[in-house]
Amino acid sequence: MQGKIIITNITLRNGLETRDAIFEVINNSLHLAISPNATNVLHIRLRIILPFIIRALRELNTSNVKFIINLCDESDLENKYDIPYICLTKDVRSNHKLIPNIDFFSGLMLRLLRESRNDIDYKSKTNGSCFVGSSTNGIKRIRYCHEMLDDPIHFAKISNLCQINKSEIVSSFPRIDECLTHYMSVKDQLKYKILVNIDGNSVCWSRLYWQLNSNSIPVYVEKHKYFTQYFDQIMPEDCYFKCDFENYKNTFDYILNPSNSNHVNMINENGKNFCKKAFNQYLSAPQDFLVNIIKEVITEIKNENM
């Protein structure tokens, strides 16, 4: 039986981080609190995720519970509040609770998984690699794109120069303007045999998942040692190739060498099998899938605080 969770108010509270929102249910009334200086990102993502939270609380018939959700791209190692902490990505050394990233709730991930599932055959793809992304976390992605400028088969561009001032990096990357491009569709990225991941503010967010679901081969360059997402916890190690900035071209050469096709095909099949296991329910009933995950996390919180 569903409860009657009602939002009674949204208050501004000093002392809260700009990326955090407090959810507190008291006698079936949901009270929300955010910082007076809450980021635009938090406001946007809060509107996206709130219907899922409310439905989960109603289905659980939860009359009293309290937790914080961090709706931004990264979280600190420590929980500064004496309140259970939920986030979209976390440090594996922390005790934070994870839920899927915001792309799942917005429906973007649904579209990307469906699009990548209808991919062209691997043998029909361009014999090279592709990376297109914003400059979040700055230098790593820019450095990679700058190094690839004169490579004839590996395409690498920054689609959105952000979180960095071009005047501050032009001396280190004098051809930075050549690294910039406009939006590139997933369909066009999927024309390449290799799809590259380089972490942004925390992790690659949703990029790796739709790549795993395709007929291309994901390569993760210098994967973050500690940050993880909800589905990363259940992902086998042999779903994609990993390398660092010193040997990524060796990895590309290995993948493109026909003599290694059995191993490469195995990695591709492992990735697609993982996606079937992890995302089939999401693809068929996305709202139910996400609400059930939130219900599981809230139930954990309630049980731990009994």
- pLDDT, one tens digit for every residue, the chain (306 residues): 355 666 667 888 898 999 999 999 998 889 999 999 998 889 999 999 999 999 999 999 888 999 999 998 888 889 999 999 999 999 889 999 999 999 999 999 999 999 999 999 999 999 999 999 998 876 889 999 999 999 999 999 999 898 888 899 999 999 999 999 988 999 999 999 999 999 887 777 789 999 999 999 999 998 887 888 999 888 888 999 999 999 999 999 999 999 999 999 999 999 999 999 999 999 999 999 999 999 999 999 999 876
The domain segmentation of the chain, as residue ranges, is 6-105+285-304, 108-283
Rg of the chain (C-alpha set): 21
Overall pTM > 0.75: yes
Q: Which CATH class is domain 108-283?
A: alpha beta
Residue whose entry in the numeric block shows the structure tokens 């004496």: 82
133-171 as b/e, with b when 16 or more CB fall inside 10 Å? Answer: bebbbbebbbbbbbbbeeeeebbbbbeebeebeeeebee
Q: Please give the angle made by the CA atoms of 104, 109 and 115, to the nearest 5 degrees.
A: 160
